[in-house]
Amino acid sequence: MSITIGGITAAPGEKAKGFLDAGTTSVNTYRVPLAVINGSRKGKTIGIIGGTHGTEFASIDAVIRAIKELDPKKMKGTVLAVPVLNGPQFEHKTQFLSPFDQLNQNRVFPGDKEGTLTHRIAYTVFENVIKRCDALLDCHGGDINEDIRGFTLAGKGDDEAVNKVALDMARCFPARYINLFQVAPTGLSMCAQARLGIPCVISEAGTPFPVREDEVRFHYEGIMNVLRYFGVIEGKPRMVEPVTSKGSARLRAEQGGIWKPAVSTDQMVKAGDVLGVVTDLFGEVKQTVKAPHGGVVGMMRCFYSVNCGESLVSVTFLE
């Protein structure tokens, strides 16, 4: 059966690409790019979103690679793939927030068709793409100020059968650990799990500069394994053992200055290990940041300057 979304139509065995209008600024129309990859045989529909945060480039690159590599003639089922959801942040390279309405794209789902641009982008993808899906992958990574080596969040809600599928999807990414994330009916794209029972996973890897091949592959291999898991493409998925995190701590600057990290992302640390220091502009150490608990470094700040209260580093506890 042919699939039509907006003005994009793909017959069985076809890949169609186009854009969905989301909202207008004073002179431009912002659009959501969408690839409809319709397998020659019937099967599950899997949604893959990149660029919900528009500077998380490694994840965007992986979604683009998946769109290019997937062959609908060999597929059983459908892939609906959005390479860059958040066009405003992608084009303006802002930190977390849209330059138009200062909103975080991943806090406004399921969106509002009468809201500001970020709300309308969420509404457009939720109504046209996410609602059609049997499972959803939302690919993220370090935003413009962050470096992340690779972990996943699996949606956790009231339905144990759905939770199990979400955990299996998270296991399809080659990550050291999985965070179980309590889903809510509004906010993240994962609200689709709470509202509609669609199993949801967020993959997190990468930093904007440079876009590293191993982190593009982290997302890409995860996407392909999820498609194998659902039988959309042939083969057996490679799945990791489900090591779930036991909590995490995000450490922040007590006062502004210069951030000098002493560890890197994905490094194991013990309680009390020095993770970095904040100095003043004369080189004097003002804050020594130590691990509050043993674990793995999840997120690392990659900006040199820091303002009071901003994130420096996170540690995820594995036991």
**Residue number with CB closer to Zn ion (54 or 276):** 54
**Residue number with CB closer to Zn ion (277 or 300):** 300
Does 212 interact with Zn ion (rule: CB under 5 A)?
A: no
Closest by Cα among 49, 50, 142, 58 to 95 = 142
Q: Binding mask 262-281 vs Zn ion (x if CB under 5 A, - otherwise)?
A: --------------------
Quick one: tokens of 136? 């959803």
Those residues whose C-beta lies under 8 Å from the C-beta of residue 286, and which sit 6 or more positions away, are 254, 255, 257, 277, 278, 279, 280
Q: Which residue has the tokens 């849209």?
A: 98
Least gap, CB of 53 to Zn ion (angstroms): 3
Q: For 77, how many CA atoms within 13 A lie in the half-sphere containing its CB? A: 20
Least gap, CB of 277 to Zn ion (angstroms): 27
Least gap, CB of 139 to Zn ion (angstroms): 9
Q: Which residue has the tokens 């057996």?
A: 236
Least gap, CB of 295 to Zn ion (angstroms): 21
Please say whether the beta carbons of 43 and 70 come within 8 A.
no
Angle between helices 57-69 and 213-229 (to 10 degrees): 50
Least gap, CB of 16 to Zn ion (angstroms): 27
Least gap, CB of 242 to Zn ion (angstroms): 22
Q: What three-state secondary structure class fits 292?
A: coil
Quick one: tokens of 218? 């982290």
Interface with Zn ion: number of residues (CB under 5 A): 3
For residue 233, the 8-state DSSP code is: S
Those residues whose C-beta lies under 8 Å from the C-beta of residue 213, and which sit 6 or more positions away, are none
**Residue number with CB closer to Zn ion (15 or 140):** 140
Map the footprint of Zn ion across residues 57-116, applying CB under 5 A.
none
Least gap, CB of 22 to Zn ion (angstroms): 19
**Residue number with CB closer to Zn ion (3 or 117):** 117
Q: What is the separation, in whole angstroms, between the first and last Cα of the chain?
A: 49
Least gap, CB of 52 to Zn ion (angstroms): 6
Q: Name the maximum alpha-carbon separation found in the chain.
A: 67
**Residue number with CB closer to Zn ion (56 or 168):** 56
From 21-29, 133-141, 182-190, 286-294, span contacting Zn ion (CB under 5 A): 133-141
CA distance linking residue 219 with residue 262, whole number of Å:
27
From 45-53, 78-86, 145-153, 249-257, span contacting Zn ion (CB under 5 A): 45-53
Q: Binding mask 48-67 vs Zn ion (x if CB under 5 A, - otherwise)?
A: -----x--x-----------
Map the footprint of Zn ion across residues 140-169, applying CB under 5 A.
140
CA distance linking residue 319 with residue 299, whole number of Å:
18
CA distance linking residue 126 with residue 196, whole number of Å:
11
**Residue number with CB closer to Zn ion (56 or 215):** 56
**Residue number with CB closer to Zn ion (53 or 119):** 53
CA distance linking residue 11 with residue 32, whole number of Å:
21
**Residue number with CB closer to Zn ion (37 or 166):** 166
Binding site for Zn ion (CB under 5 A): 53, 56, 140
